Structure 1
Amino acid sequence: MNGNDSDGVPFSGTSTSSEAADAIEELSSGVYDLIGVEGKASSSRAGVMDCSDKDRETYFRIFHFWSFYPASASDLDVAMRRLKEELPKRGWEVVSYGPDTSKNKNINLVAVNDMKKASIKIVKMAKNDPPKLSLNVVSGCYKVPEGKRVERF
């Protein structure tokens, strides 16, 4: 991503924590729309984390962890295939795709969105009970507006 700090995290601009969280949740919602199979998403809200080596009262990142549980386990393959094909059409670049080193060899998809200054990691957990996709959307590093402090939630 362009505009990276020394740790590789892009600068996302100036925002309050709650406005940035709303933007990341909206980005997650767009990913949910791409899944394209019946199922249910977990109900979770975005949270705030620190930017490495930056003042935690002024700089922050947003994360949004959530899960998707398909109506049928076989739909996990369909969902991952759709995400791999559709994310690039929506401004995401798939930077890695394949099995991890776990015993279950879970399929991982990692993508970045330069325009939105965000990344996503999707893990197909077919052997979980119940089977699911685990999704984590993370923003770049934001700075709060002058005179404001980072809200933690």
Structure 2
Amino acid sequence: MNDSDDSGSKDSSGGEPVGVRSVDASTSATKKISSELLEIIALKGEVSKPGPRVNRCPADSDTTYKMLHPWSITGPSEAELGKAMERLRDELPKKGWKIKHYGRNNSRAKSLELTADDDKRKFGVNVEFWEKNSGGDKNRALLLVNVVSACYEVPEGQKVDTY
């Protein structure tokens, strides 16, 4: 999520919590967002295994956190992955996301990148298309997806357990 969030709430980069939510509820919501993204990508391939993880927000807090879910998909051709980026660009706004950036990033490889926010659900996503031999994972073409939630406060009496 970006600092320019129109909702007036702080973003997920370490700001004030946007509400109270259990870690379990946030984990489920993060998995659901990632599944929705994978449905839009609509490609068969190898999807990395790690699930969502909890990050304190800010780093020294025992009661506030955000969810992070980095994952990737490899296997499809560069052409198929490029079309998946176009699908994300075209379909995310239909599902309530605001595209904040779509184009080449400033990396050495000038990777195609999409950044979008879902202000209603308080999530952001960044997707990078790493073309073959661009310095990415084992020189295979891939989509690198990073899903992040806004900061939340755990319910009273609970503490953030980063695992």
SS in structure 1 of the partner of residue 78 of structure 2:
coil
1:33 maps to which of 27, 35, 39: 39
2:17/2:64 contact within 8 Å kept: no
2:104/2:113 contact within 8 Å kept: yes
**Residue by residue, what CA displacement relative to the aligned partner does 1:83-107 show, whole Å, maximum 9, x if unpaired?**
1001111111000111112221101
1:79 maps to which of 80, 84, 95: 84
2:149 maps to which of 139, 144, 150: 139
Q: Is 1:15 matched with 2:8?
A: no
2:14/2:151 contact within 8 Å kept: no
Q: What is the root-mean-square deviation of aligned Cα atoms in Å?
A: 2.0
Shift in Å, 1:74: 1.7
How far apart, in 2, do the equivalents of 1:19 and 1:102 lie? Answer: 35
Match of 1:104 in 2: 109
- TM-score (normalised: structure 1): 0.90
Q: In the alignment, residue 76 of structure 2 is paired with which amino acid?
A: A
2:41/2:85 contact within 8 Å kept: yes
- TM-score (normalised: structure 2): 0.85
1:151 maps to which of 152, 158, 161: 161
Percent identical residues? 32
1:50 maps to which of 23, 48, 56: 56
**Residue by residue, what CA displacement relative to the aligned partner does 1:80-138 show, whole Å, maximum 9, x if unpaired?**
00010011111110001111122211011000001110100000001332110000000
Unaligned runs of 5+ in 1: none
Shift in Å, 1:56: 1.2
SS in structure 2 of the partner of residue 37 of structure 1:
coil
As a proportion of its length, which structure holds more strand?
1
Q: 1:8 to 1:52 in 2, by over 3 A?
A: closer
Unaligned runs of 5+ in 2: none
Q: In the alignment, residue 89 of structure 1 is paired with which amino acid?
A: K
User: How many residues are treated as equivalent by the alignment?
Assistant: 152
Shift in Å, 1:22: 1.6
1:63/1:138 contact within 8 Å kept: yes
Q: In the alignment, residue 115 of structure 2 is paired with which amino acid?
A: V
